[in-house]
Structure 1
């Protein structure tokens, strides 16, 4: 019989077990103040900020090169921006293997150490190509931590506060983005660019330190024990959370629905343009009519503040209104916003043509429209696909393939992120900004339709029942989850 504390802190490794708390006498406040919960919140804080500060650090630091009158071409900008993203993709792959062998705890620790050392290295050199290389290794650490922190926390945390605590990861991502913009604004004009780069080392160091004091995931330990004690009956499917119990071929053959939903969530989250707003915020503001490094940095800080506030709007809603309504609302706002931005950029492009010179009177209103569209885009993203990507990824992936499917979803997200980082400036230069944002609009519409038709509502439902549906469903039958399934009271 587990102790009262363990009944709250550890989740039964049996995926079919109900997730209702064993001891209802403890209040939610008491659960939130539990040491393990506080450690999980701290890990989300440092892990989310590790993600956020490193995604936006270069957007401010590159202004340092401009102050030195060193030309950063669009290609150089894209390479420097995408180096951390490419590294993150590699980090996701590495962590997927290590999380199932070394464990969640030490994989998270290793990611924090790698990102810390690489961040320090990026602060002690001013050579562009060296920065590109070390930021790749920063990305490896970021990818490792982003992939394992949410998995690790969801397996440690009390079920009653799991949704709230898991969503804090995205809130902390936006805090990291904001902090990066603020630090860049304060340091880059004074050529203290190395401070901005060194600042990024604080949060992965925090990840490593906090992880040392946390226990290993109970699901990982139970999975290892189950693997040691498994019977010779190879037809039995383990649900211990060890992805090695199911082959890679069987994963894609037998789990089409969760794979499809993971694909839509990852592609829709990234290819609607969120990291254009984050990684290329100064560039987008210049496109919209801002001029000067200080003006663009101030504008970037404003975007960071609004982005953070938008996450606070969405944070309490997923447990009240449901995942699916918020996703659909978020994508509806995103589609309208990217379409409005496309119109604004279209007006600006037409004003540059002699035949449409009268459009020049609309340039300022078009710039205002673009800024407003960006802000509404951030609101839609942070209410819907931003935080709910992480929440749904943990809910729809059956335990026996959870590590593998979460790595697939996170890896695909980083690939799409890499596409944006590598090609946005070049594509916008070749086909125009209006058409580029038009593409974002089309992706948003496609994601909205797919989520409307194929994504079930998971709020308040037993994970075991959700996973049963995910195991047996064809892509065309997600609605089965709404029929005759028990709600958690």
Structure 2
């Protein structure tokens, strides 16, 4: 009798599974607007780029210039700390609640953080607190927007739509620099600079009313429920950090993701961006306005070269484009380290500017945009949420560490040594990626796993 009941239960579960699968396939076949997916990544990238980039203009304002280096570092890194926390939280939340509802929270956090930091008194702790809240939204957007677009985009458009997030980041940084320069001598200058950061959050919030929940997430949740019905098994054992670390392919994906994060953050991009004012100064651009214009030109080049990845990401594939761009970055770092030993004065400054622009082109044509795509695609389907959130948190940790320590490291070991280190890290990453990095372009996970 017990066996008969068990058989009946299993048949009912199978029937439910078939019904749910048919429904999820129906949902998957519904057309999703490419424009909507594009706008989602654009608004998410603008939240990231503008709100992290505008601090450069804020720090030129008289109210903040007089602060100590430690206080300025704390103000700069408060949003980065929030972003690290937001990245970790997003992986847990999206696994349980989906993609769409957490994006509403991202919009709200962006509004509170941007408007709050623009209205509070000129006090380090007040402003940093709201910048921390803003960082929660920035970090979560960097997880959820690329994840949602990667799940909902047609396979032939995943690469192009995925690169829009990095393009929007660079455009957001550019807009932040332009607004910082334009509002520098306007009344309530830094308040306007902070306040404009709420606009992409408002746009994102409005867009979400026309976007459905991810059908991939719905299908995954349905499959988990069916597993529980069929096997009387706790489905939470098949997801999360435990599942990621218990699987050989999960551990390999996490290792390769760490290499991608290191290649993204510890091979010189922050060093070049932080050091650019001194490079311009060595080249003879000494006035404040001249350096600001040169910096805006650099950030504009940063945005323009990102479009290279959009053109080639689906033609060359993720692996080749990552390797090619990494070679350009590594060679630029090593050459700059050598330049510091061989030249000085204006000659060094001019050569450094050339290498600076070459490095940026290398980064933005491959490594920068592809991190957001591959940080999702290399993981097993059941572990994409938590895996991508761990990688994003790791790259935020690297960002924070460099933001606090870069100038001190330059003082301690010298300019040439720091770029030798970045170049050396680039060489190690290149070797590992050449032998182990799989191609994820136009492949499902089983094909990626077998490469």
Q: TM-score band, normalised by the shorter chain?
A: 0.7 to 0.9
Task: Note the C-alpha offset of 1:416.
Answer: 1.0
Q: 2:389 aligns with which of 392, 407, 420?
A: 407
Aligned position for 1:196:
193
Task: Note the C-alpha offset of 1:190.
Answer: 3.6
Instruction: Tell me if the contact between 1:74 and 1:426 (Cα under 8 Å) persists in the aligned partners.
Output: no
User: Relative to 1, partners in 2 of residues 1:303 and 1:247: Cα closer, same or farther, differing over 3 Å?
Assistant: closer
For residues 62 and 165 of structure 1, what CA distance do their matches in structure 2 show? Answer: 34
For residues 215 and 400 of structure 1, what CA distance do their matches in structure 2 show? Answer: 21
Instruction: Tell me if the contact between 2:282 and 2:345 (Cα under 8 Å) persists in the aligned partners.
Output: no
Task: Note the C-alpha offset of 1:456.
Answer: 1.7
For residues 233 and 280 of structure 2, what CA distance do their matches in structure 1 show? Answer: 56
Aligned position for 1:209:
206
Q: 2:411 aligns with which of 429, 446, 459?
A: 429
The reply to whether residue 219 of structure 1 matches residue 253 of structure 2 is no
For residues 146 and 79 of structure 2, what CA distance do their matches in structure 1 show? Answer: 20
Counting only pairs closer than 5 Å after superposition, residues 56-205 of structure 1 correspond to structure 2 as 56-65=53-62, 68=63, 70-125=65-120, 126-190=122-186, 192-205=189-202
Counting only pairs closer than 5 Å after superposition, residues 371-386 of structure 1 correspond to structure 2 as 371-386=353-368
Task: Show CA shifts across 1:126-153 (max 9, x none).
Answer: 3233222221111111001111111111
Instruction: Tell me if the contact between 1:268 and 1:444 (Cα under 8 Å) persists in the aligned partners.
Output: yes
Instruction: Tell me if the contact between 1:58 and 1:279 (Cα under 8 Å) persists in the aligned partners.
Output: no
Instruction: Tell me if the contact between 2:318 and 2:370 (Cα under 8 Å) persists in the aligned partners.
Output: yes
Instruction: Tell me if the contact between 1:288 and 1:345 (Cα under 8 Å) persists in the aligned partners.
Output: no
Aligned position for 1:252:
245
Task: Show CA shifts across 1:2-37 (max 9, x none).
Answer: 79995544xxxxxxxxxxxxxxxxxxxxxxxx7622
User: Relative to 1, partners in 2 of residues 1:237 and 1:264: Cα closer, same or farther, differing over 3 Å?
Assistant: farther
Task: Show CA shifts across 1:41-81 (max 9, x none).
Answer: 1111100111111221111110003xx58423332332222
Counting only pairs closer than 5 Å after superposition, residues 238-387 of structure 1 correspond to structure 2 as 245-246=238-239, 248-254=241-247, 255-278=250-273, 281-282=276-277, 285-286=280-281, 290-346=285-341, 362-387=344-369
User: Relative to 1, partners in 2 of residues 1:284 and 1:152: Cα closer, same or farther, differing over 3 Å?
Assistant: farther
User: Relative to 1, partners in 2 of residues 1:396 and 1:208: Cα closer, same or farther, differing over 3 Å?
Assistant: same
Task: Show CA shifts across 1:288-322 (max 9, x none).
Answer: 65433322221111011101111112211121112
Instruction: Tell me if the contact between 1:123 and 1:198 (Cα under 8 Å) persists in the aligned partners.
Output: yes
For residues 359 and 114 of structure 2, what CA distance do their matches in structure 1 show? Answer: 30
Aligned position for 2:440:
458
Instruction: Tell me if the contact between 1:273 and 1:420 (Cα under 8 Å) persists in the aligned partners.
Output: no
For residues 293 and 50 of structure 2, what CA distance do their matches in structure 1 show? Answer: 17
Q: Show structure 2 runs of 5+ residues with no match.
A: 1-21
Aligned position for 1:477:
none
Residues paired across the two proteins, number: 426
Task: Show CA shifts across 1:364-383 (max 9, x none).
Answer: 01011111111111111011
For residues 146 and 154 of structure 2, what CA distance do their matches in structure 1 show? Answer: 14
For residues 41 and 133 of structure 1, what CA distance do their matches in structure 2 show? Answer: 31
For residues 129 and 135 of structure 1, what CA distance do their matches in structure 2 show? Answer: 10
Instruction: Tell me if the contact between 1:78 and 1:425 (Cα under 8 Å) persists in the aligned partners.
Output: no
User: Relative to 1, partners in 2 of residues 1:231 and 1:136: Cα closer, same or farther, differing over 3 Å?
Assistant: closer
Task: Note the C-alpha offset of 1:463.
Answer: 3.5
For residues 47 and 240 of structure 2, what CA distance do their matches in structure 1 show? Answer: 32
User: Relative to 1, partners in 2 of residues 1:454 and 1:425: Cα closer, same or farther, differing over 3 Å?
Assistant: same
Instruction: Tell me if the contact between 1:342 and 1:435 (Cα under 8 Å) persists in the aligned partners.
Output: yes
Instruction: Tell me if the contact between 2:381 and 2:445 (Cα under 8 Å) persists in the aligned partners.
Output: no
For residues 138 and 306 of structure 2, what CA distance do their matches in structure 1 show? Answer: 21
Q: SS at 1:215's partner residue?
A: coil
User: Relative to 1, partners in 2 of residues 1:139 and 1:280: Cα closer, same or farther, differing over 3 Å?
Assistant: farther
Instruction: Tell me if the contact between 1:153 and 1:166 (Cα under 8 Å) persists in the aligned partners.
Output: yes
User: Relative to 1, partners in 2 of residues 1:283 and 1:465: Cα closer, same or farther, differing over 3 Å?
Assistant: same
Q: SS at 2:60's partner residue?
A: helix
Q: Show structure 1 runs of 5+ residues with no match.
A: 10-33, 348-358, 470-479, 482-489
> TM-score of the superposition, structure 2-length normalised?
0.87
Q: SS at 2:61's partner residue?
A: helix
